[in-house]
Amino acid sequence: MTRTSFRLHALAAVTVALSGCASQTTQQQQLSFSDSARYSGTTLADLEQTDITIEAQTLDNVSAQSALQSYQRAVELFQDPDRRTQSIRRMADLALAAAEDQSTRGMPETTQVDLAERPAVSRDELDRSVDKLLYENFMREAQQTEKRDERYALLDLAGSVYTGLEEGGTETDYGTAIQLYRTLLETSKDSNERAEAYYLLAKAYDLAGDLDNSVLALDNLVKEYPDSQFYLEAQFRRGEMLFSDGDYERSSRAYAAVVDVGDRSDFYEQSLYKLGWSHYKLGDYEKSLIQFFTIVDRLQGSSELNDEGSMQTRLMMDVRRVISLAFVNLDGAETVKSWFARRGKRDYEPDIYRGLGDVYLQQERFRDAADTYDAFVEVYPNSPFAPEFSSLNITAYERGGFPSLILPAKEKFAEQYGIRSSYWQANPNIRESYIPMLKAHTIDLAKHYHAVAQRSRKHDDYNVASRWYKEYLDTPPVAEDQAEINNLYAQALFSAQRFPEAIAEFERTAYDYEGYNKSSEAAFLALLSYQSQMAALPKDSEEQQQALDDWRQRSINSSMKFAATFPDHEQVPQVLNNVIDDQLARKDLEGAIRTSGMLVS
C-alpha cells in the first residue's frame, strides 16, 4: 500500500471510528526545544521561534485496521508513567511550536475539504493535507475526551503525523500548549522536567496574553525549584512583568534575587538597572542609587563608551539621568557631596554634579543649579574642572535673572582663577582652557564698576574699575580690543586723579597700538593729564619747584611728540602755544623760538 493510500485509509478510519486514527506508526520523530528556543530579551514576547528537527524513517505497509490496532497498543503503552510524560511533553512542545508558527505567520484557518473534489495536486501536498486533518482531529479529540489514557494515546498519535506540518500551519492555539503543560505538571514527578514545564507554561501564557497566569507559573517555578537552571531567568521575567504591572515591591524582590547571585548571570546588568528603577518608583532613592552607581562603576572605562550610538553609551546616559533625578528627590548637591564622602571618590564625579545641575536647569530651578555647580568647586577647588563649574554657576544665575548674585560670582571667579591666584600658578597646563572665561568675566567687572563710578563720582569706585581693567590687560593673550580697554583704563585712572599712571596709560594707548582709531585722542588726553598733574603739585619748597620743573619738561616732550605724530590734529596749535609757555617758564628761550617757528610754519 502506498503512503498516500495509507493516509486516506487512516482518514477514513478516523471518520468511521474515533475521529482520530493511527498514521505512520513506525515513523520516529525527534522534537526538542534547543537553547535558542528559550525566550530571552526584554519581554517574553520577544522570544525566538522553536526549532523543530524531524527525522523521517521508512514506512511499513499498513491498513486502516492495523492503524486501529496501533491505537489500541498505544493505549496500553500509556499505562507506563514515563512513556506517558514523555509523550505529553512532546505534544506540549508541538502545540506551542504550532501556535507560535500560526501567530507569527498569520496563516488563515484551514478548513476540511473533500479530497476527491480537489484539483490534481502533487503527492506531497496530498500527504500534507491528510496529515494535517489527522493531526487536528487527534488534537481535538485529545482535548475533548475525559479519559486520561485515551487522551495520552491520541496525543501520541497526533505527534506521529506532525511531519511537515511546520510549514502548513495548524489550528492549534496557545491554549492547547497550556493544557498540555499543565497536564505534564499533574503527572510528572521529575524535578528538572517540572521546572522546565513551569518555564514553558509561563511562556505559553505570556504569548497568549495571560500575564497573571504567566507570573503565577514563574512564581511556582522559583518557589519549588530554586536550584533550577531556569531560576535566574524566571526571576528576571517575573520582575519584568511585575514592574510593567506597577507592582514595584514584588518586582524589586524578583530583580534582587538575580542581583544577589552576582554577575555570572546573563540577566545581572538588566536586573541591576530595573532593581534601581523599582526602588526609585517606590521612593527609596538611596537604594536606587546603590544599583545605578554599581552600573556606572561597571561601565566606566569601557571602550564602547567612545561610540555615541552604542548600547553601553545609551545605558550610561540613561543611568546618569536617573541618578540626577534621584538626587533631585533627595537633598540635591548636599546629598551628592555626602554620598561620595561616604562611599569614596570617583573619577566621574564631575559628570554627576554637571548632570544634576543640568536637570535643575531643565526644571528652571536656576538657584539650585547654581548651588550644584558651586558645590563641586567647594569640594574640589583645585580640580581642572573647577573653572568650568564656576562659569556654569554664573550662567545659571544669568538664566535665572539674579543680577545681585551674578556680579559677586564673577568677582569670585576672577579672584580664584586670575593671574595673581594660587590656582593660576599651580595649573599652567590648563590655563588656556579657561582664559576666555576669565577675560570675559574680568572685563564685565571692570565695565560694571566703571559705570558705578561714573554715577557716584567716587575715587574708590574708579579705583575698583581700574583694578579690573589692569587685570584684563595683564592676562594673556593680547586681545583684539586691547587698545580700547587700555584707553578705558587710562580714563579710570584719570578720574581717580591718579595722573602719573593715567599719563603712562594714555601714552601707551596713543603710541603702542598701531592703527588704533582713537590714538590721537589718547595722546591729547595724556597732555591734559600732565596739566592736571602739574596743577596738583605743591610749589612751596625748592624741591617741589624742581619736581614741577621736571614734570613741565616731560609735558613739553609729550606735546612735541603729539604735534609730530598728529600734525593735522585741530589741537596742535594750542598744544604748541602751551609748549612755548612752559619753555619760557623754564627760561628756555631758544626752545621757545624754535617752537614759535613751528607754529608759524
Q: Among 76, 124, 125, 132, which residue's Cα sits nearest to residue 101?
A: 132
* Higher-pLDDT residue of 164, 549: 549
Most confident of 150-154, 392-396, 540-544, 588-592: 392-396
Least confident of 128-132, 230-234, 365-369, 420-424: 128-132
Q: Determine the pLDDT at residue 165.
A: 54
Residue-wise over 246-269: b if at least 16 C-beta within 10 A, else e?
A: ebbebbbbbbbbbbeeeeebebbb
Inter-residue contact 78 to 84 (CB < 8 Å): yes
* Residues 282/249, Cβ–Cβ less than 8 Å: yes
547: pLDDT confidence band, cut at 50, 70 and 90? very high
Q: Provide the pLDDT for residue 144.
A: 76
Rounded CA gap, 10 and 595, in Å? 137
Report the pLDDT averaged over residues 355-381: 98
Q: What is the pLDDT of residue 567?
A: 95
Confidence of residue 491 (pLDDT cuts 50, 70, 90): very high
Tell me the per-residue pLDDT of 283-305, one tens digit each, with 9 for 90 and over: 999 999 999 999 999 999 877 77
For 58: left if phi > 0, alpha if psi spans -120 to 50, otherwise beta; the answer is beta
The pLDDT value recorded for residue 309 is 82
What is the arithmetic mean of pLDDT over 135-151? 71
Output 521 or 172, whichever has higher pLDDT.
521
Domain 480-600: which CATH number of 1.25.40.10, 1.20.1340.10, 1.10.287.3510, 1.10.510.10 = 1.25.40.10
Over residues 14-72, the pLDDT tens digits come to 443 333 333 333 333 333 333 333 344 333 333 333 333 334 433 344 444 454 455 44
- Residue 92: pLDDT band with limits 50, 70, 90: low
| Element (DSSP H or E) covering residue 150 | helix 148-160
Decide if 467 contacts 442 (C-beta within 8 A). Answer: no
Q: Is the pLDDT of residue 275 over 60?
A: yes
- Tell me which of 173 and 593 has the higher pLDDT: 593
- Is residue 29 classed as helix, strand or coil in its secondary structure? coil
Amino acid at 550: D
This prediction's pTM:
0.71
Domain locations in the chain?
1-188, 480-600
List of residues 6+ apart from 428 with CB closer than 8 A: none
Q: How confident is the model at residue 384 (pLDDT cuts 50, 70, 90)?
A: very high
Position 121 confidence tier, pLDDT thresholds 50, 70, 90: low
Higher pLDDT, 148 or 128: 128
Q: Crossing angle, helix 589-600 and helix 542-565, to 10 degrees?
A: 30
16 or 354, higher pLDDT = 354
Of 105, 117, 13, the C-alpha closest to 126 is 117
Residue partners of 253: CB distance under 8 A and separation at least 6: none
**Residues 164 and 69 sit within 8 Å (Cβ to Cβ):** no
**Residues 87 and 156: beta-carbon distance below 8 Å:** yes
Mean pLDDT across 571-591: 92
Is the model's pLDDT at 245 over the cut of 70?
yes
* Cα–Cα distance, 570 to 295 (Å, whole number): 76
For the chain, percent of residues with pLDDT exceeding 70: 73
Among 508, 523, 518, smallest CA distance to 563 is for 523
Average pLDDT over residues 210-220: 96
Distance (Å, rounded) from C-alpha 289 to C-alpha 291?
Answer: 5
Are 365 and 402 contacting, i.e. CB atoms less than 8 angstroms apart?
no
| Number of H-type helices and E-type strands within the chain | 27, 0
Q: What is the pLDDT of residue 446?
A: 98
- Average model confidence (pLDDT) for the chain? 83
Confidence of residue 99 (pLDDT cuts 50, 70, 90): low
Assess contact for 99 and 207: CB atoms under 8 A. Answer: yes
Give the tens place of pLDDT for each residue, 468-480: 999 999 999 999 9
State residue 3's pLDDT score.
43
